[in-house]
Amino acid sequence: MSWEVVIGLEVHCQLNTDTKAFCGCSTEFGAEPNTQTCPVCLGMPGQLPVLNTVAVDKTILTGLAINAHINLESKFDRKNYFYPDLPKGYQISQFAVPIVEGGYIDIPTKDGGEKRLGVTRIHMEEDAGKSMHEGLDAVSHIDLNRSGVPLMEIVSEPDMRSADEAIAYLKQLHQLIRFLGVSGADMEKGQFRCDANVSVRRPGEPFGTRTEMKNMNSFRFIKQAIEFEVLRQIEIIEDGGEVVQESRLWDSVKCESRSMRSKEEAHDYRYFPEPDLPPLRVSQQEVDAIRAGMPELPGQLRKRFEIEYGLSSYDADVLTQTLESAAWYESLVAAHPADPKRCANWMANDLLGRLKEAGKELSESPVSAAHLAGLLDRIADNTISGKMAKDVFEAMMESGDDADTIIEAKGLKQVSDSGAIDAIIHEVMAANPDQVAGYRAGKDKLMGFFVGQVMKASRGKANPGMVNQRLNELLKG
Amino acid sequence: MPYSSLSDIQSRLNSGETTAVKVAQLYLDRIAAFNDTLNAFVHIDPAHVLAQAEASDKYRAKHDARPLEGLPIAVKDIFCTQDGPTQCCSNILKDFHAPYDAEVITKLKEAGAVLVGKTNMDEFAMGSSTETSAFGVCRNPWDTNCIPGGSSGGSAAAVAAALTPAALGTDTGGSIRQPAALTGITGLKPTYGRVSRRGIIAFASSLDQAGPMTRTVKDSAMITAAISGHDPRDATSVADAPAVDWLAACESRDMKGLKIGKPKEYFVDGMDAEVRASVEAALKKCEELGAEIIDISLPNTEHAVAAYYVIAPSEASANLSRYDGVRFGHRCENPEDLLDMYTRSRDEGFGSEVKRRILTGAFALSSGYYDAYYLKAQQVRTLIQQDFIQAFEQVDIIATPTSPIPAFRLGEKTDDPLTMYLSDIFTIAVNLAGLPGLSQPCGFANNLPVGLQWIGPAWREDTVLSAAAAYEGATDWATRSPAAFGGES
């Protein structure tokens, strides 16, 4: 009998505001510990929070991008728990009435279709600080630079039915957030972290007991953790046991999860309305203005690229991974409008492939869109062959020079002069009289031999189209 | 001179009859003479007080005097000040020095006031008698065996015994008005949102409000004028609060045609007969002055204390979580682990009343009880607000006793928290509704002062001040002072 997997995800995404959620401290990553703090984010007596409206706008933008409802009046609540890196002893969050509710994300399915995954809510909250235990000789230190940094918590419906679907959802969300420019979403810096709620059931039965895998920040680990947890739960049930509701931590070194705390030990957060902040009110006009400023989203861009440039859905998908790559492609097409498909092939296969090998971002590419367009122009006007273009491209990646400079320097200019080509053909014919005779006697297959010889004699520079054409004419005598 | 009002001292300073330094020295001498008896001040730095006074005299020599130029004002130990410790009369904040001034402290300084020192209070403002202070009980100048009320008992006693002409208090459930009543002075709690709470150590954020404790109504107006105003760094400070001409409100002391509501729920069986008689007499006086007394009802009053003792502890339980021994304040010796550090630091640092309220609040907010307690209390709060809104459709202002009883004896109620909580029975509803309230002296019961409470509609401090000023002008209660401390009667 088969098992059905049920997954719901909670993503914590750090908003890329200049200042913290409730004070004017900088949010910049990597500063000396406790240098970006003030009495407010340190939770000093008598200090009060004042809401950063940029964080509000970015959360609304994200809500609009997933087709969600924006609550024109939402509220802040206190989530109470003790931890040394939580200065006030509570976190300001949105519990009862979040700013964003409903919405969805579509993920591609294997059969080429789409599956719609529900988003329950997005709420705003502040981050806690960071505890540091390692290498400190049994003493723990606290860095409160992160205390009060604004976060969005994006909570999905339990709609995922496999680890692959969960990862697809996360990747879509991650891409969307970067497109919107609301977060760097750098997973290594903890700007995009995920908790996964996992349970299994027999198809058609009610939800099983779930466990929560906490605080993961790598797609690979999230997939491993979910797959591990699914097998663990199935094994427990098949052995006649019961899954315990608990929070678990993924150990990426040992590739296993371990219990963090059980339901009985779970916190009672004692949520209640934050009395230091009035209800958050936004007007429909403000929401409309944010909607009007929304950039083209990945799904729209992908479809437009397919229609406008005639790209395959695969190429369109690769080129729209980031707003930057889409923009790069569009400037490439603008500089070489004759062949958008050739542009796509070169950018997707050659450029992005090479950058990935070198571990570089598109922004660090030695070859600009204008330079790549220059190379494609030389292929189009037969200055060089497609094959030679690969070598030129390599040289461009090395030196950063433009195509013409390299073609000139390496003497790679394709020979398209019919006189010169005729001269080479005559030489080849003179050197191979038997083959000429054979061809003329009807051995058509020898054509390939002559083409090869001519190209070799020209050191690859002869225009292959012209070589074919002239051979046809001259061999016939 | 010691029992002079702020405005009297101001005119003497303006005429050159005295100097800020002389005034400061006079009160410093009285503090030196009487504070051991009263324990009204918990921190005083005479040299710093005189330095401020000197600076004020120099300022006055060169510029136009500012609104509170050279006037001594004491502040409750709940206000963060860069100078001296801010301890909220709690061991958990023992020797805490705030690196910032509360917004109201900044405003007092900008107005030229001379800050006298920190006054005693119930620990974290939790109490109605100033007996929960970690720095010892405070005494009532009218009878030093009695409590001065709370939680701003130190400010009240200091003003009543003329150790300072004026002081700041905070009022969460009556903590300005009740001690003002019990010590025979005037205390004003402004409309919630009128005065910034930034830098005031939070007890219950949705209820706390700072205000003046003074000898006269006009003095309260002078101080409120200086400390009120929008603070962009306090999101609950109201940006477009209706303005009040504070001093003009006190000048227009005419009660003719004023409709005064007399809520039947505030004149109940069980209250002290002399208190009742004093307040009834005060209302009669108002009638003679041309006011119309209208019997009204505030039907949800009976639930106010219960709602308050759910809401205030709930907010307090969260507000006091930051005192955990991690970053500042008291930390226990040699903690075994994190939990041990939290529990012992808090156990050692907090007094029993604070612990009682933290536990009450945490319980009221805990899952499974939230709906029955916290949510229900908030619903009651809404009903109480509606009661007042309806009442103010009929009347301009409401008058009640401030406290059902005069000052009780030290220790009399400390073992019975529920009876103690009833001390605030007539003041609490005003905080739940966020309204302005003022207490002024209106007589004596058992030779102890009785307070008359005025409650106005939101933002109508002007109505409150003009009624109180009219009553004050027609009676002599505000001029009485305790004989044992050099008073005239």
Cβ pair A48:B93 closer than 8 A: no
The per-residue pLDDT for A467 is 84
Token pair, residue A290, equals 């944010």
| pLDDT tens profile B204-240 | 999 999 999 999 999 999 999 999 999 999 999 999 9
Whether B151 sits among the annotated catalytic residues: the reply is yes
Burial class (CB in 10 A: 0-12, 13-18, 19+), A419: exposed
Containing structural domain, residue B200: 6-252
| pLDDT tens profile B106-162 | 999 999 999 999 999 999 999 999 999 999 999 999 999 999 999 999 999 999 999
CA distances A352 to A329, A339, A355, A365, Å, are: 11, 18, 5, 9
Say yes or no to pLDDT of A31 above 70: yes
Cβ pair A89:B324 closer than 8 A: yes
The three-class DSSP label of residue A463 is coil
Separation CA A448–CA A421 (nearest Å): 16
Q: Does A80 touch chain B (CB under 8 A)?
A: yes
Q: Residue B431 belongs to what H/E stretch?
A: helix B428-433
Chain A residue with minimum CA distance to B201? A46
**Min distance B447 CA to chain A CA atoms (Å):** 39
The answer to whether A185 and A178 have CB atoms below 8 angstroms apart is yes
pLDDT-derived band at A1 (thresholds 50, 70, 90) equals low
Say yes or no to pLDDT of A91 above 60: yes
Say yes or no to pLDDT of B31 above 70: yes
Mention every residue, 6+ apart, whose C-beta is less than 8 A from residue A434. none
Residue A387 burial (CB count, 10 A):
11
For chain B, the farthest-separated pair of C-alpha atoms sits apart, in whole angstroms, at 70
Mean of all residue pLDDT scores within chain B: 96
- Active site residue: B90, B175, B403, B481, which one? B175
pLDDT-derived band at A294 (thresholds 50, 70, 90) equals very high
Residue-by-residue DSSP string for B235-298 = TTS-TTPPP--HHHHHH----TT-EEEEEGGGS-TTS-HHHHHHHHHHHHHHHHTT-EEEEE--
Q: Does A96 touch chain B (CB under 8 A)?
A: no
Separation CA A420–CA A424 (nearest Å): 6
Mean pLDDT of A249-267: 84
CA distances A443 to A424, A432, A435, A473, A474, Å, are: 21, 14, 9, 16, 15
Q: Residue A100 belongs to what H/E stretch?
A: strand A100-101
What whole-number percentage of chain A has pLDDT above 90?
66
Say yes or no to pLDDT of A252 above 90: no
| pLDDT tens profile B328-338 | 999 999 999 99
The per-residue pLDDT for B238 is 97
Say yes or no to pLDDT of B488 above 70: no
Whether B76 sits among the annotated catalytic residues: the reply is yes
Mention every residue, 6+ apart, whose C-beta is less than 8 A from residue B252. B466, B469
Give the gyration radius of chain A's Cα atoms.
31
Mean pLDDT of B271-294: 97
Q: Does A132 touch chain B (CB under 8 A)?
A: no
Domain extents in chain A = 4-286, 295-410, 418-476
Helices (H), B103-243: 103-110, 153-160, 177-183, 217-227
Q: A418-476 — its CATH code?
A: 1.10.10.410
Cβ pair B315:A275 closer than 8 A: yes
> Quick one: which of B211, B183, B158, B147 has its CA closest to B2?
B158
The answer to whether A329 and A347 have CB atoms below 8 angstroms apart is yes
What whole-number percentage of chain B has pLDDT above 70?
99
Mean of all residue pLDDT scores within chain A: 92
> Quick one: which of A456, A371, A477, A458 has its CA closest to A416?
A458
ipTM of predicted assembly, 2 dp: 0.96
Q: Does A267 touch chain B (CB under 8 A)?
A: no
Structure-derived torsion over alpha carbons of residues B278, B280, B281, B286, reported in degrees to the nearest 10: 130
pLDDT-derived band at A42 (thresholds 50, 70, 90) equals very high
Say yes or no to pLDDT of A8 above 90: yes
Say yes or no to pLDDT of A171 above 50: yes
Chain B residue with minimum CA distance to A23? B233
Separation CA B12–CA A297 (nearest Å): 73
Say yes or no to pLDDT of B484 above 80: yes
Bridge partners (DSSP) of residue A213 are A196, A248
Specify the range with the lowest mean pLDDT, choosing from A29-33, B434-438, B471-475: A29-33
The answer to whether B234 and B206 have CB atoms below 8 angstroms apart is no
Contacts of A20 in chain B (CB under 8 A): none
Cβ pair B318:A78 closer than 8 A: yes
- Active site residue: B5, B7, B76, B107, which one? B76
**B171 phi/psi in degrees, rounded to 5:** -135, 110
Cβ pair A78:B197 closer than 8 A: no
Interface mutation vs chain B, best among A269, A272, A277, most B CBs within 10 Å = A272
Interface mutation vs chain B, best among A47, A50, A91, most B CBs within 10 Å = A47
Mean pLDDT of A49-55: 98
Q: Residue A447 belongs to what H/E stretch?
A: helix A446-457
Which among B201, B233, B318 has CB closest to A90?
A: B318
Separation CA B221–CA B245 (nearest Å): 9
The per-residue pLDDT for B487 is 59
Is the residue at B160 inside a domain? yes
Structural domain count, chain B: 1
Which among B206, B235, B324 has CB closest to A50?
A: B235
Say yes or no to pLDDT of A150 above 90: yes
CATH code where residue B98 lies:
3.90.1300.10
Mean pLDDT of A138-158: 95
Residue-by-residue DSSP string for B366-393 = STTTTIIIIIHHHHHHHHHHHHHHHHHH
Q: How many CA atoms lie within 13 A of A189 on its CB side?
A: 15
Report pTM: 0.90
Say yes or no to pLDDT of B489 above 50: no
Structure-derived torsion over alpha carbons of residues B264, B266, B270, B274, reported in degrees to the nearest 10: -100
Cβ pair B201:A88 closer than 8 A: no
Separation CA B28–CA B6 (nearest Å): 16
